[in-house]
């Protein structure tokens, strides 16, 4: 039977096309907040990192009421690196709102998330957002969306998608560009009419698919999912089914969503999205089932990771000075705890008790994990990101990315030159209001370090987006960093005099008064080879005065690396030391004599 009093919908789109802003407007117009309540922008982005970066990292659940019908809404991330979040939450819904920017049109991530939605036979509604942009090109964008649906082989029902024109920031939606509207009523009505009501058995044996895990210090693990069949009650005995294994459990508390809050309920039924406590053994993809008739649902398939990185215990001379959690046990427990909720992540021990191989969907995916851990008080070090190769039909294959770059036309030459060396293949080029949009297929390893190069070569005007394209035979060598490192050869505190004496060797990464240790990278050499220098040198005091004694030392501004820039910058023999207070670059082998012997041995081999 159908439950006509409820609708389950996910909002999917490319990054920065307005998903979270639209959810904000829907919440406001559903009277979720008090009239005098102060509400932050992008209220669904509750994580500090989400607010700072202006992106959604974790999918979120909320619910609004409209004319007596409950609409469960799932806000999803737009970055390809968090595609695992999108894949699993699509199991909770019957339809999707596909948001597309009225100027940018369909972007790589639009294609990625739409392919996932169509594969699950979900009903789409296309929302063309930001129609108030002066450079909007609504008609062209609508044609591009239709072409995308056809390219992805949508069925006839999916191709006959309804369209809403919106300005999410102002809370306005309309059925055509000529309509007058000052609210989202047309969108709410369209959603209720178009998205199918949940369909299933209310009285059959219980089945709940666990799609998300949360954690609370008071109640422990919280399993979130949709009731596919039957009813569930607080205090009920259930089994957690995963393949052939069955674990008994008892539901402690049962919650549904109202606005931004979880509301405790005694009973929920087929079609509801619920949060459950008491299921300490539940994992993503498990089925919460009736103990008398336990039937497992098909597990959730998640795309494989494409990038790996070695996380290890910090062994620099500054180890333990800035972090709260510094031991191998702390690092191991934290990484394996992350795997429980971060479905796209893989963790394995890497050749020793103090090192772990962490595999993820991209640089941003792993950088967010590193940044989260350092804010929690962890101190550790990470190696250079490396792509994960596969052998397919006896051939060595590597992950490829579909890359889209928007640049002003005058920067086309430097961008093409930079990507040519990285084995990129141009597949399409279009002109958009003074900008060129270039589309490439490029090895994933060719993108490591490219973002900063793009910003430099386009004077900050280049915009890049990429999404996993598939595997292809190995494309050959890609040149790495062309400059060597300036490495401190003794420990101490840097001085203005010391830095001034070596700054003509290249670009410095440090300032006076900074503590350094032997083997720490303090700058970039102007030449290809590494150079050992001493930035802690002090001026000798003599009785002699020279003509330039009183001249002030003039130092160039140091280059400060963000976490992502540091990860992109390092070579295979280097690491990034991460602490709650600092991000330092260092050589893996700190002693310069041992480093020299290692270099000679590797050249001999």
Closest CA to 83 of 399, 471, 564, 467: 467
- Whether residue 77 is predicted with pLDDT greater than 80 in this model: the reply is no
| Same domain for 555 and 419 | no
**Structure confidence by residue, pLDDT tens digits, 116-173:** 888 888 899 999 998 988 888 899 999 999 998 998 888 888 888 999 999 888 888 8
| Same domain for 468 and 448 | yes
Which CATH number do you get for residue 153?
3.40.50.300
Instruction: Average the pLDDT over 264-290 and give the result.
Output: 87
By percentage, how much of the chain surpasses pLDDT 90? 20
Which CATH number do you get for residue 416?
3.30.70.240
Annotated binding residues for GTP: 16-21, 129-132
Structurally, the chain folds into a number of domains equal to 4
Closest CA to 16 of 89, 103, 91: 103
Task: Quote the pLDDT of residue 87.
Answer: 66
Decide if 364 is inside a domain.
no
What is the DSSP secondary-structure string of 103-118?
A: TT-S-HHHHHHHHHHH
Mean pLDDT, all residues of the chain: 83
Decide if 296 is inside a domain.
no
Task: Quote the pLDDT of residue 78.
Answer: 47
List for the chain the helix, strand, coil content (%; round to 5): 25, 35, 40
Beta bridge partners of 587: 574
- Domain boundaries, position 132: 6-194
- Whether residue 421 is predicted with pLDDT greater than 50 in this model: the reply is yes
Contact yes or no for 224/273 (Cβ under 8 A): yes
Where would I find the H helices in 17-102?
A: 19-29, 48-53, 83-89
- Whether residue 405 is predicted with pLDDT greater than 50 in this model: the reply is yes
- H or E element at residue 602: helix 592-604
* Least confident piece of the model among 82-86, 175-179, 226-230, 590-594: 82-86
| Same domain for 504 and 466 | no
Which CATH number do you get for residue 597?
2.40.50.250
Annotated binding residues: 16-21, 129-132
By percentage, how much of the chain surpasses pLDDT 70? 89
pTM of the model: 0.75
Kindly indicate the confidence band of residue 59, based on its pLDDT and cuts at 50, 70 and 90.
Answer: low
| Same domain for 163 and 34 | yes
Decide if 1 is inside a domain.
no
As a whole number of angstroms, the distance between CA 573 and CA 526 comes to 19
């Amino acid at each position: 039977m159908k439950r006509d009093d409820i609708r389950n919908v996910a909002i999917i789109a490319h990054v920065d096309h307005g998903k979270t802003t639209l959810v904000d407007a829907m919440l406001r117009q559903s009277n979720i907040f008090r009239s005098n309540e102060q509400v932050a922008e992008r209220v669904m982005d509750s994580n500090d990192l989400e607010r700072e970066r202006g992106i959604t990292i974790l999918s979120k659940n909320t619910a609004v009421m409209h004319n007596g019908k409950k609409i469960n809404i799932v806000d999803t991330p737009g970055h390809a690196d968090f595609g695992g979040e999108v894949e699993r939450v699509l199991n909770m819904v019957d339809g999707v709102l596909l948001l597309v920017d009225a100027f940018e049109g369909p972007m790589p991530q639009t294609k990625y998330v739409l392919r996932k939605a169509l594969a699950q036979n979900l009903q789409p509604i296309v929302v063309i957002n930001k129609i108030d942009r002066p450079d909007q090109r609504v008609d062209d964008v609508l044609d591009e969306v239709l072409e995308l649906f056809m390219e992805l082989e949508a069925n006839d029902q999916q191709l006959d998608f309804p369209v809403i024109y919106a300005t999410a920031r102002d809370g306005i939606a309309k059925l055509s560009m000529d309509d007058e509207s000052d609210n989202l009523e047309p969108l709410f009505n369209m959603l209720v009419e178009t998205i199918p009501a949940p369909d299933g058995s209310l009285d059959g044996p219980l089945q709940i698919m666990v799609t998300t895990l949360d954690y609370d210090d008071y109640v422990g693990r919280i399993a979130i999912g949709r009731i596919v069949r039957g009813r569930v009650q607080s205090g009920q005995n259930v089994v957690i089914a995963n393949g052939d294994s069955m674990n008994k459990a008892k539901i402690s508390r049962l919650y549904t969503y109202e606005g931004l809050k979880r509301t405790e309920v005694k009973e929920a039924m087929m079609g509801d999205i619920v949060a459950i406590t008491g299921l300490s053994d539940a994992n993503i993809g498990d089925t919460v089932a009736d103990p008398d008739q336990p039937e497992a649902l098909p597990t959730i398939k998640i795309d494989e990771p494409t990038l790996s990185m070695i996380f290890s215990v910090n062994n620099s001379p500054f180890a333990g000075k800035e972090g709260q959690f510094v031991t191998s046990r702390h690092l191991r427990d934290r990484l394996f705890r992350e795997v429980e909720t971060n479905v796209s992540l893989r963790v394995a021990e890497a050749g020793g008790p103090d090192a772990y191989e962490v595999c993820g969907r991209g640089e941003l995916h792993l950088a967010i994990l590193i940044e989260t851990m350092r804010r929690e008080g962890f101190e550790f070090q990470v190696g250079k990101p490396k792509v994960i190769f596969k052998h397919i039909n006896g051939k060595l294959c590597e992950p490829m990315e579909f890359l889209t770059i928007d640049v002003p036309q005058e920067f086309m030459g430097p961008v093409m030159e930079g990507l040519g060396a990285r084995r990129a293949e141009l597949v399409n080029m279009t002109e958009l209001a003074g900008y060129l949009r270039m589309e490439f297929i490029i090895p994933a390893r060719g993108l490591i370090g490219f973002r900063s190069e793009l910003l430099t070569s386009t004077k900050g005007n280049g915009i890049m987006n990429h999404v996993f394209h598939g595997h292809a035979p190995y494309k050959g060598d890609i040149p790495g960093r062309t400059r060597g490192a300036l490495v401190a050869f003794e420990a101490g505190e840097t001085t203005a005099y010391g830095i001034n004496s070596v700054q003509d060797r290249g670009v410095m990464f440090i300032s006076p008064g900074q503590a350094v240790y032997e083997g720490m990278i303090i700058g970039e050499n102007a030449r290809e080879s590494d150079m050992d220098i001493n930035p802690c040198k002090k001026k000798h005091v003599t009785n002699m005065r020279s003509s330039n004694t009183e001249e002030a030392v003039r130092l160039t501004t140091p280059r400060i690396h963000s976490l992502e820039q540091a990860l992109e910058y390092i070579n295979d023999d280097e690491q990034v030391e991460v602490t709650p207070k600092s991000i330092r670059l260092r050589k893996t082998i700190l002693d310069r004599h041992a480093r020299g012997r290692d270099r000679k041995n590797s050249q001999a081999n």
